[in-house]
A and B are shown apart, each in its own frame.
Chain A
Amino acid sequence: MGRGGGMGNPVNVGIAVQADWENREFISNISLNVRRLFDFLLRFEATTKSKLASLNEKLDILERKLEVLEVQVGSATTNPSVFN
């Protein structure tokens, strides 16, 4: 990854080391952003799972309520003498 030129020259060696550090900095930045992206994905997964769980619980409650209402309406329709 070093730049072209004579390696024996100390000036060229210094330029090569600087370029190497620049490349390392770029890679570290890329890896840091990827890790941030990974953290975001993990947090997004967690929040999405919790939201889905709460939504599922809510739907379960609604389903139970609907079953209760269905039973009540069914009992009322099967026994119309109650409303007479």
Chain B
Amino acid sequence: MSGATVEEVQIQEALLFSETIKGLKTLRSQLYSAAEYFELAYTQQDEKQAVTNNLKEYAVKALVNTVDHLGSISFKVSSLIDQRFSEATDADLRISCIHQRTQASQACVDREGISQQSLVITAPKYHKRYILPAQGQSMPSAMPNFREMNKVVVTGRASQMHQVFSAAETRAKEKKQPSLRKLQSIARLPSQRARSASPAQRAHPMAPAKNATPTNRADKRSESPVPSTAPAPLTRSASLSKKASLLKTSSVRAQAAVSQPKKLAPMRTQVDRSDDSKDGERTPKKSKKFLKSILSRRKSRKDEPLPSYFDDY
């Protein structure tokens, strides 16, 4: 209702404005016609004094009326312009509000995009030997925390990885769980234990670092990200250190020596090779016994002739 009344008032004001403008337009013709009339009356009538007085009164009234018309029209025009100014200011405010909203939304979108892009992490690929699986946990729990790694940008990659892996190693040490390799080596056969008890490792039981130095050829090939001077080595080198600690005990020392040549064949030393040659001298006696047992079993089953290759033994 208020909107309708405002519109009606505006329409009435517009009608009045148009009427006053029409009155101003007709004022010129009225003044010209009045001037002609008074001129004729002054020339034709005898009472010139009365005509003059009427002319004076008409001129004064016409002037006052003109001023009134012009004043009202100027006021209406100025009010109309002010109204348009206020409307333009309101529109400017609305536009600035919309612009601010768009800026805020754009900033929000940018922030969201930045957060999304920051979450995209290129997980570094490491060798399996560098991953330390924890017992009772899944593999991602045993993996290093990549978010922590990405936090440090200024420091070098090697020091970063060293920190993370040292943290993972301390975690593993706290739980005091044996590594997978250790468990595998414990579960070896006794024959392998006996074979792996090489004199080379017995000769240097108190210096495991010297024993580990020939095996560094594999390290050079795999390009370990952690520098060699690091105080806490990687998980792979942790196995070496654990092996060194295990060498103090005789039983576990043999197990570690057995497990090592199977997985890291190129890491074997020349001393181990000489031990293997000695073992190779022992093996014909064992193989002879084994073949004799097979022969006796086969003779008992069948009386078929044996293949020719058994004659070699």
A52 neighbours in B (Cβ, 8 Å): 81
Q: Count of A-B contacts with CB under 8 A?
A: 59
A23, A30, A65: which contacts B63 (Cβ < 8 A)? A30
Among A16-68, those with CB < 8 Å from B are: 23, 26, 30, 33-34, 37, 40-41, 44, 47-48, 51-52, 54-55, 58-59, 61-62, 65-66, 68
Taken residue by residue from 75 to 88, chain B's Cβ proximity to chain A (1 for < 8 Å, 0 otherwise) reads as 00110010011001
Selected contact of B77 from candidates A33, A48, A65, CB within 8 Å: A48
Contact B85 A33 (CB under 8 A): no
Chain B, residue nearest A59 (CB) = B88
Pair B95/A58 contact, Cβ less than 8 Å: no
Assess whether B99 is in contact with A65, with CB atoms less than 8 Å apart. yes
Q: Which residues of B contact A73 (CB under 8 A)?
A: 102
Interface bracket on A: 20 to 34
Cβ of B98 < 8 Å from any Cβ of A? yes
Assuming the contacts A48-B77, A51-B81, A62-B88, asked whether A34 and B95 have C-beta atoms less than 8 A apart, the reply is no
B53-89 interface (Cβ within 8 A of A): 56, 59-60, 63, 66-67, 70, 74, 77-78, 81, 84-85, 88-89
Q: What are 24 A-B residue pairs whose CB atoms fall within 8 Å in the complex?
A: A1-B52, A3-B49, A4-B49, A23-B52, A26-B56, A30-B63, A37-B63, A37-B66, A37-B67, A37-B70, A44-B70, A48-B74, A51-B85, A55-B81, A55-B84, A58-B85, A62-B91, A62-B92, A65-B92, A65-B96, A66-B95, A69-B95, A69-B102, A83-B109
B residues contacting A by CB (< 8 A) are 49, 52, 56, 59-60, 63, 66-67, 70, 74, 77-78, 81, 84-85, 88-89, 91-92, 95-96, 98-99, 102, 109
